[in-house]
Amino acid sequence: MLTRLLPLYCLLVSFVCCCCSRTESKYVVKKTSQAPVIDGRADALWENTPSAAVSKIGSCTLCTTDSLDLSGRFKAVWDAEHLYFLFTIYDDIKFRNNLPANASEQQLWAAWKNDDIELFFDMNNDKESGFHPEEDDFRYDFIYDYDSVMTDGNARGISFAQTDFDKGYVLEVRIPWKNLKYAPGQDNAFGFEINVSDNDTKAPLEQGVVSWGRSKAAWAEEGGATAHLRTSVYGNLLLAVE
């Protein structure tokens, strides 16, 4: 009897696992007692911090599965005042358009025309069908080799630094909690998404995008290029003490 039931059991397990693979991404953010130096280089504390892959192909005009064309990983830690990130992006050709110095948020639309790391926050984690920067949803764009943060929120107090290595670049970021209108606490969770844009030539634009949260399904099934402005597709960051 057991032998006869085994194939059915395996089928059930594989179905459940298949469904599990479509659940939201989650990253546990450890609390740090020592703030990293924002210089685009990995401090000792980063060496002991787990990383997560930014590897879900979201959209592309010249798609490639070559991880050296575009792939990335991120790490995050937090303290009472700030949320910190370290991104390591593999990109074979680093590219930025000529942009005006200190471009204002009015140029936000152009960020994806460059190599660019976009961060999206849904601080009340309501996973809804829209995006409300005037309330609790925030977006920050860090264009490769550029001196301003693009945002439709508050960039004041945000620190960042970027360095190159032969196969890509590293971005280190510090965001004050007050910019996110948030009071951090142990076991708090909020929505989060990353899009990394790759342009290796001036055109066609945005030749590749990889994401961390649920954007793969979202880009393909839930609204194309504006899917990242639906907080329902984001993953979750969970704040932990250890």
* Shortest Cβ 125–Ca ion spacing (Å): 7
122 binds Ca ion (CB under 5 A): yes
Q: Are strands 71-78 and 26-31 parallel, antiparallel or unpaired?
A: parallel
- Is 116 a binding residue for Ca ion by CB under 5 A? The answer is no
Q: Which region among 30-38, 105-113, 179-187, 216-224 touches Ca ion (by CB under 5 A)?
A: 30-38
Measured in Å, how far apart are the chain's first and last C-alpha atoms? 47
Q: Which is nearer to Ca ion, 1 or 170 (CB)?
A: 170
Shortest spacing between CB 200 and Ca ion, in angstroms: 4
* Residue 180, phi then psi, degrees to nearest 5: -95, 5
Answer yes or no whether residue 136 interacts with Ca ion by CB under 5 A: yes
Query: Is 43 one of the binding residues for Ca ion (CB under 5 A)?
Result: yes
Strand (E) positions, 79-211?
82-90, 116-122, 137-143, 149-151, 159-165, 168-176, 189-198, 208-211
The verdict on 37 binding Ca ion (CB under 5 A) reads yes
Applying CB under 5 A, which of residues 79, 105, 152, 200 lies at the interface with Ca ion?
Answer: 200
**160 strand-pairing partners:** 173
For 209, residues 6+ apart whose C-beta sits below 8 A from its C-beta are: 57, 58, 59, 60, 112, 195, 196, 197, 198, 219
According to CB under 5 A, which residues from 58 to 97 bind Ca ion? Answer: 69-70, 91-93, 95
Q: Does residue 41 interact with Ca ion by CB under 5 A? A: yes
